[in-house]
Structure 1
Amino acid sequence: MYKLTSGLRRSLSSALIGRRNQHQKATQTIGEEFQEINIPVPWGHIAGKWWGRTDVKPLLGLHGWQDNAGTWDRIAPMLPAHISLLAIDCPGHGLSSRFPPGLPYRITDHIFVMRRIIHHFGWDKISILAHSMGGVQSFVYASVYPDKVENLISIDAFKPLSVNPDVELDKLGHDIDKFLETDSRKEVKPSYSYTEIVQKLYHGMLADSLTEESCKILLKRGIQKSGDGYYFTRDPRVKIGRLSGWLHETVLSLAANITCNVLFIKAIPGFVYESPDIANETLDVVRKSARRYEYHIVEGQHHVHLNNPERVAPIIINFLNTTLKEP
């Protein structure tokens, strides 16, 4: 029978503790708890949800058109404990202040908002987790500030729409007039029962993008009480077009300036908003310019990260574990 010396016993004990700690470290996640955040801006505030440690720089979470920070409610708790996430409500969405009367919502304006948030916290570089409209905003931001972005993760939409200039000119005039009409009209806030407002959001989304359960998650920040019913809090003006277009040549130039680590997760069938050839040409440019590039396809609708987080979370976590250093 072999006997363990005290030194060998201590070594084996340390090794076992190390393995246990390593396993715990690998399985520990942010969890469900979060803090409500309010960031002051000249027109009011930007609201957000901060999951995880507040002593480390978080991922900046950006949601899709007419959504809110709740879009990350099911992904955030799955992230590793050494990562934190600050998901914001974009202006005019969720609990954030609306833009003042007379001002439209444009992609470039969201870049100003991102810079204000970054300046507020004193960050230099950031990592971004984005979906849909948020992905488009992030694409532009990473192009304009290539040395200020470490990681860009986008789900089911990645680039600005490439437009035909003749079609865009006609659409731009229509959008401007539509915006002025909406901006000058007194807002009517119809009141719905909770069941009605869930169904209104559910049936109002493209291609059955949201499940009813996902609708309820977004509505936590997307509605307010009105008498015996509820109304949507988002600014009606966010529905009025882009009020600007991007020529494909411009999009390609922007793509060539993205140098950070890039992860793009495409949902199938997801949401197709332009020719796959145009989208693929842009992605080919990013593949060459990015420091690291990953492209993954998952089965699901446009909001796959909210409907089926288990399909995208492992991809995101593996990417972050590879590209983000622990504090």
Structure 2
Amino acid sequence: MTNKVTKEWYVEMPWGKVAMISWGESSKPPMLLVHGYLDTAATFSRLVDHMPDTYYYVSFDFPGHGKSDHVQSGPLVTQTLLTEVIRRIVDHMGWKTFIFVSHSMGFISGIYYHHAFPGKVERMIIIDPAVPVGNQYYVIYDLGLWYKSNYQEYYDIYNKNDAKLYKYEQAVAAMMKARSLTKEQTEHLLARCLVPTDYGLYKMTFQSAMRRVYGTWLPEYTLEHVITSNPPPTLVVNATKHNLTPVMVEIANKLLKTYTEPNSVHRNVYVEGKHDVHITSPREVVHQITDFLNCTTVKSKL
């Protein structure tokens, strides 16, 4: 474990500010860490603790997450908005190239970015992408259920104020249960998304609109083209346990086939645990990442 200098600041976006955090020295090769659904940059803090000092680690909270400003209420937010956040951050940092690290939903936004701006991502490290990719099944094959669970439910509670207040112990217990984490791990995550209010109570900063972020409605052949078109050298870190249905597993495997087949470009590994293996088993995940980054035989398809 190393002691990296930590810095926090904000980047202006057209709708408000995005909260940034970095670890390490900006003179070193950059690595952008992108969190997933209803998460924050804090999801990577335990991972970065064990990463080498040879990189400059930068992360951020998506709009409506953590310390970032909310977006204006309106139509449902798509993952392509999150891709625009990535574009603006990379431009703000002035990076010509960088290493991309994502957890879960962050992969979808990242692969859209790579497809739109090829050559910027040197290498890609994706942690348990099967969940967001598998969810594309409902967009493509079960439009009725997708519509009801997104638009109908979203607008049925559109004007509802759901700023639920918690006692600190209640908030910790709720997230521990939802994500199968220890108390210590949970408190790391809550550091960026739980704020005190009056009477000793706390509230989550997650915006209601962000509970219905959905994958861009692309037909399967288009999504497959986006995922498989000249991807950079990639490491896929899979969790061994998940709650995906068989049909979700089937489409996830099909769309991620480029990454999971043995070849000289990509690596596909497994780490024991559930979806948040980068939090529950950071040392093992870091071992896989550093092996991949130190490998000089990995060749690019570009």
Query: TM-score range with shorter-chain normalisation?
Result: 0.7 to 0.9
Q: Which residue of 2 aligns with 1:172?
A: 147
Q: Which residue of 2 aligns with 1:298?
A: 271
CA drift of 1:56 comes to 3.2
Instruction: Write the mapping of 1:182-193 to structure 2, written as runs, cut at 5 A.
Output: 182-185=157-160, 187-193=161-167
Root-mean-square deviation (CA), in Å? 2.5
In the TM superposition, what whole-angstrom CA distance separates every residue of 1:229-286 from its partner, at most 9, and x where no partner exists? Answer: 1111111221125174343322221122143110000011145365433323323334
Structure-1-length-normalised TM-score: 0.81
Instruction: Write the mapping of 1:42-81 to structure 2, written as runs, cut at 5 A.
Output: 42-81=14-53
In the TM superposition, what whole-angstrom CA distance separates every residue of 1:285-320 from its partner, at most 9, and x where no partner exists? Answer: 346899720110111111111111111111111212
Counterpart of 2:214, as a letter, is R
Q: Is the 8 A contact 1:271 1:302 kept in 2?
A: no
Unaligned runs of 5+ in 2: 297-302
Residue 204 (1) aligns with residue 175 (2): no
**1-side partners of 2:2 and 2:71: how far apart?**
32
In the TM superposition, what whole-angstrom CA distance separates every residue of 1:113-170 from its partner, at most 9, and x where no partner exists? Answer: 1111111122222211110111222222223333221111011115633325452255
Deviates more, 1:237-246 or 1:125-134: 237-246
Structure 1 segments, 4+ long, off by >6 Å, are: 288-291
Instruction: Write the mapping of 1:88-237 to structure 2, written as runs, cut at 5 A.
Output: 88-157=60-129, 160=133, 161-163=135-137, 165=140, 167-172=142-147, 175-185=150-160, 187-205=161-179, 208=180, 210-227=181-198, 228-237=200-209
Q: Which residue of 2 aligns with 1:35?
A: 7
Greater Rg by CA: 1
Q: Is the 8 A contact 1:260 1:290 kept in 2?
A: no
3-state DSSP class of the match of 2:136?
coil
What is the total number of aligned residue pairs between the two structures?
A: 292
With over 3 angstroms needed to count, the CA separation of the structure-2 counterparts of 1:265 and 1:179, relative to structure 1, is: same
Q: Is the 8 A contact 1:162 1:247 kept in 2?
A: no
Residue 284 (1) aligns with residue 257 (2): yes
**1-side partners of 2:141 and 2:268: how far apart?**
33
Counterpart pick for 2:217 among 234, 238, 245: 245
Structure-2-length-normalised TM-score: 0.87
Q: Which residue of 2 aligns with 1:24?
A: none
Deviates more, 1:217-226 or 1:255-264: 255-264
Counterpart of 1:52, as a letter, is G
